[in-house]
Structure 1
Amino acid sequence: MRLFSFATADKRAEYLWVLRAFDHARANYIVLLHASGVETILRRIGGGDPAAALDAAAVAPLLEQLHGWGVLERSFDGTRAATLAEYRNRNFVYQFGQAGYRAFRAVEDVLTGRGEDVALSGLALADLLADLSDLADANAVGDGELVYRKLNRLDATLSDMAERAARFYLMLGDLVRTTEVTPEVFLTHKDALLSHMREFSSDLARYAPKLTAALDRVRAGGAEKLPVLAAAHDERVLLTVEEREADWRLRWRGIEHWFVGVGSAPSEAERLREGTMSAISAVLSLLRRLTENRRGGVSRESQLRHLAAWFAATPTEESAHALFGAVFDLGRPRHFSMPYPDADAVPVGRSWWEAPPVEIARTLAETGRPPTPGAPGRVDRNDSGVRRLREKQLETQRRRAAAAAALASGGVRERELSEPEAEVLLGLLDAALSARVPVSGRVRDSEGSGSQHGVTLTLRPSGASTVVHTARGRLYLDGLDVEVR
């Protein structure tokens, strides 16, 4: 928060002009500035503002203070000294720090931002469609550089659309809330607002299926390759390859969610369209209300003006109180039927002005209704997660059933069992060994069997050992004969 101290300091106008000089130099590819350089730029961009009429001697302490707040970075420049005395004096040059520049831009955007600049970006939909098509082609041929550029453009375009939409609907909400004070502003811009929102909604509905088809093309070419290709050409050298891949994977997931919803939730494109239609309905409703008020000649403003005139015309204070009670009805007490804990302590005929107070529930005082336990809390159900786990469980069961059928048809001898078949065999062995009943205290001479998925495994005592070859290795069953059917 120290970075924003220049916006609230006593000389905030001077600090702001100094930072504008650095921003102007930055736009002309000049990074380092001395106090004399700031003075030169301020003469050119000041425009006659008294706060910008600063010489190098007045700029120097401002630069030092900005450096103390962390907005500017300072370094020594000995090349500016022409004599030994000048060299011994401090000759500092300054430049924007990374965080300091962001703080300045934030303040400057607030000061220079205008409400009429906001708009919904309908023209960006065509750029999104073209970038998605190019991304699918680049992914198909493995062009990592083009994949990086297209993903970067898609991310920037969607971020700009989201920011524009947020600012537009915020401006529209402010306009709706202030309409009762200044209805002329709304009536002046209503046609442009309705036309703009309807055109954007139409463009969004027209481009939505095309954008979804282009996204399917990208997925068909292998969307899992996109973060790897983009990270290989990412120029952020201070991040590791794994961190860049994770960042681009997160960005691609956000791009997908903008076009396709997650589970039962709608996509961001659908939400944007629904928000636009709701805004159109709100604007039309407000327009209808304004039209009816103007047609009848009575509005809340005119009512309040007449009421103020009545208050001003009352001859006495008692008349003003009576008028207040008749208009706002705030003078009558609210009565509640609440018995005293001890009914004999307070006579029935005593006035409630003189009787001691009775403790009542806050709900009764605020709403007039006695308190109740309330409805039970809402149970959050993760239907998509339950459905996903159920599908995974059914897939595991189908895989095990297929492996059991292959094990029964092929047996366990003279072949190598696959990983699923080995899992089924180990499960059958566990069931068969658990079912064996010892005879005369000797487990080796007993026989057992186990079954799963319609397959039965039988173990019989044998003089030789059985060797089963599996994908995990060889399984030795000493003194047992294995039969699977």
Structure 2
Amino acid sequence: DIYEQTDALQQRLNSWRERWRGLRRWFVSEDHLQAQSELLRAKARAAIPQLLAAVAALNERRSGRSDRSADFRVLARWFADTESDADAHRLWRVAFALNPARHLSLQVPAEDVPASTPWADAPVVVVHPRLRERGEIAPRGPAPHVKDRAAARAMLASQIAEERAQVEAARLMLATGNATRLSELGRLDVHAFRLFLALLGEALAAQTTPAQTVTRQTADGLLHIRLEPLSADSHAAIETELGVFAGRDHLVTITPAPEVQ
């Protein structure tokens, strides 16, 4: 039929026109539509600097040049090699410049004001107009004496040492290496109870079901804990200075992690 042949020819012609239009759009822009080849060329040009920067960064790392992550790793090794806490504190101050500021001279009241004091309740500090206008002021007379905080630092060091000793005593009390029921732990002081809660929380976080037995190493790598749930109707109550901690009974084994030589 002549009409069917005409329709078939028209469809074939339209198909070839669409193909030609698609091919033409790859290379020729139309109105507000940019050609696909131009878009591809722009993307390729934009990717070249990024690729060169990535290659340069890889070459710098291979050549041994220092970067921030490498600097922090070296600093971590320095901290690990310090022989005492005092050396570690000195290294911290040198590395991060944590020194008291002595370059700002203001007429500060003589009385000590706690850091938690609201600014509205704190005593007034007089600011010289020249400092407010120019940002600098030449101090008159000798420089103010640096306040001796040796006693406060000694008291803080004593408190830290006492807390560390209490935590270590709690660790020695709990990390016996023997399997113990929670109901048989007895009364725990505040430090032992806080350590126990931290260990219990890490072990319970690894459970997928309440009846699963888990073995977990603490985040600091010092202890291993194995927690085995007992029957669902079991009950354990631990008396502490903060109250009574109760729940399902478990068999817990806490052991110190082996030291890495």
Larger radius of gyration: 1
Confirm or deny a common fold (TM above 0.5).
no
Higher helix share: 1
TM-score range, shorter chain: 0.3 to 0.5
Task: Compute the TM-score of the two structures, normalised by the length of structure 1.
Answer: 0.19
